[in-house]
Amino acid sequence: MPMFKVNVKWGKEKYTDIELSSEEPPSVFKLQLFSLTNVLPERQKVLLKGATIKEDWGNLKLKNGTTFLLMGSAEALPQEPEQKTVFMEDMTEDQLVSAMDLLTGLDNLGNTCYMNASVQLLKSVPELEKSLQKVGLMSSLAGMSGGNLDESVATGFANLIENLKSGSQASIKPIMFLQLIYLRFPHFAEKNEHGHPMQQDANEFLTELMRICQQKLEPVANNDEQEVAAAITNKRSNFIDQYFSIDYNVQLQCIDDDAKEEAVATSTETSLQLNCFISQEVKYMLTGIKSKLKEEITKRSPTLDRDAKYCKTSEIKRLPAYLCVQMVRFFYKEKGGVNAKILKDVKFPMNFDAYELCSPELKKRLQPARNNFEAEEEAKAEAQIAGKLAGVKKEKILKKSPEKKEYERFDFEDDIGANNSGHYELQGVLTHQGRSSSSGHYVSWIRRTEDEWMKCDDDNVTPVTSEEVLKLSGGGDWHIAYVLLYGPRRLEKKPT
């Protein structure tokens, strides 16, 4: 292949000893010139002795030292970006949290995983965040100098949630909040014989924190003062009662043979959690819940003037937007004096329907919203069938629009914070790993999107899938679901 060393003159610039092959087309030579001058090939005009070089060399005779003339303006060089690219491996933990939209973790301050897991679980309730914003900022010594400790704990909780929301740090140290908890609940500050903080029961802490919020968080309204009035009329005088309170109709019937004349007693009860009792027969969460709603108890009979057996039957007459389900896994074991743990595998669903647990009156009230959900499901099923017939892939049919969705209201106009359909979606799980409530480790698992979850293991927050979450049902020494938090299933608004 004949090779030549040639020169190129471009304006005031001159390039020498450029290698050129006469067997390669001029387009290759123009690419060489582009690398030297930044003049795009389509902008180049290359001349030799007044003749323009086109698609081939023609009859031109090339030799070493030949000088070409280049005409054309150079492409502007790209500007250096104002903000340099930072690769993931070079990022700090705080930068990774911000870039990947991860949750901020909470440092373990000495067996405080029970507190960290509970806080992360409650933080997943967006309406709670909004309600806590109304709590005023506290001074650094508020509550430590004889003030209202309940109010200080509520304010400390609000500040902690606000710091977690910022997402600017990989983790934060909840020192102030922990000190307020120790002051308000001294038993959480207990230490072992070595002077180290003792592990505490996460559900006990969660219950105490919700009771503080029950006292200090005002009720919320969606639109106007009428809804606030409706909340108070329905005895929902605070946020927790609105969004977490479960109401029951209760019947108590004596089942002793000699108490046939005793009338059935009726009453109402309220709780902030459903309990799933775990026996040998219980394999699913719903079965364990139903066993508690119909149970046999012993109490004193006013008719017989002695202890007698009663059948206690409970029906839910009001469902909250957020349904807490406690898996009753711990029982007191006299041998060893510890709250031992039931490791049995009990399955829980990603989508939970509480309809069959409700009273006839509530079922009737839930029906309109349930009809809308059924219509939505039918429309999706018809779309899938139509897509299959047309040869469209299922993934395309179910692909969600990137646009922000709008949803129908999930509560009743006269009962803010209720659930108007009975349909729920799992949004958080608090798990325990270990053999007793006073030992082991607590972790929270929080749902971010349809199939994306975050495992909040104190300061270590990592993404996980829904399949991994469903494996938390028990059966071994791995993390086991202890408290499940279900949020309202949302119905998309139909386009007008």
- pLDDT band, residue 80 (cuts 50/70/90): low
Region 454-469: mean pLDDT is 95
pLDDT digits (tens, 9 = 90+) for 393-428: 555 444 444 457 788 999 999 999 999 999 999 999
Mean pLDDT of 378-399: 68
pLDDT at 145 over 50: no
Mean pLDDT for the stretch of residues 464-474: 95
The pLDDT value recorded for residue 141 is: 40
pLDDT digits (tens, 9 = 90+) for 200-255: 999 999 999 999 999 999 888 766 555 555 555 566 889 999 999 999 999 999 98
pLDDT greater at residue 41 or residue 421:
421
Least-confidence region, from 247-251, 389-393, 451-455: 389-393
Residue 13 in this model has a pLDDT that exceeds 60: yes
pLDDT at 265 over 70: yes
**The pLDDT of residue 63:** 86
Q: What's the confidence (pLDDT) of residue 233?
A: 54
Would the pLDDT of 14 be above 80? yes
Domain boundaries, the chain: 3-71
pLDDT at 421: 97
Across the range 276-297, mean pLDDT stands at 94
Check pLDDT > 50 for residue 146.
no
pLDDT tens, residue by residue, 100-125: 557 899 999 999 999 999 999 999 99
Catalytic positions: 113, 441
Which CATH number applies to 3-71: 3.40.50.300, 3.40.50.970, 3.30.70.100, 3.10.20.90?
Answer: 3.10.20.90
- Taking 80 as the threshold, does the pLDDT of residue 282 lie above it? yes
- pLDDT tens-digit map of 54-69: 888 887 888 888 888 9
Please give, one letter per residue, the 3-state secondary structure of the chain: CCEEEEEEEECCEEEEEEEEECCCCHHHHHHHHHHHHCCCHHHCEEEECCEECCCCCCCCCCCCCCEEEEECCCCCCCCCCCCCCCCHHHCCHHHHHHHCCCCCEECCCCCCHHHHHHHHHHHCCHHHHHHHCCCCCCCCCCCCCCCCHHHHHHHHHHHHHHHHHHCCCCEECCHHHHHHHHHHCHHHHCECCCCCECCCCHHHHHHHHHHHHHHHCCCCCCCCHHHHHHHHHCCCCCHHHHHHCEEEEEEEEECCCCCCCCCCEEEEEEECCEEEECCCCCCEHHHHHHHHHEEEEEEEECCCCEEEEEEEEEEEEECECCEEEEEECEEEECCCCEEEECCCCCECCCEEECHHHECHHHHHHHHHHHHHHHHHHHHHHHHHHHHHHCCCCHHHHHCCCCCCCCECCCCECCECCECCCCEEEEEEEEEEECCECCCCEEEEEEECCCCEEEEEECCEEEEEEHHHHHHHHCCCCCCEEEEEEEEECCCECCCC
What is the per-residue pLDDT for 232?
54
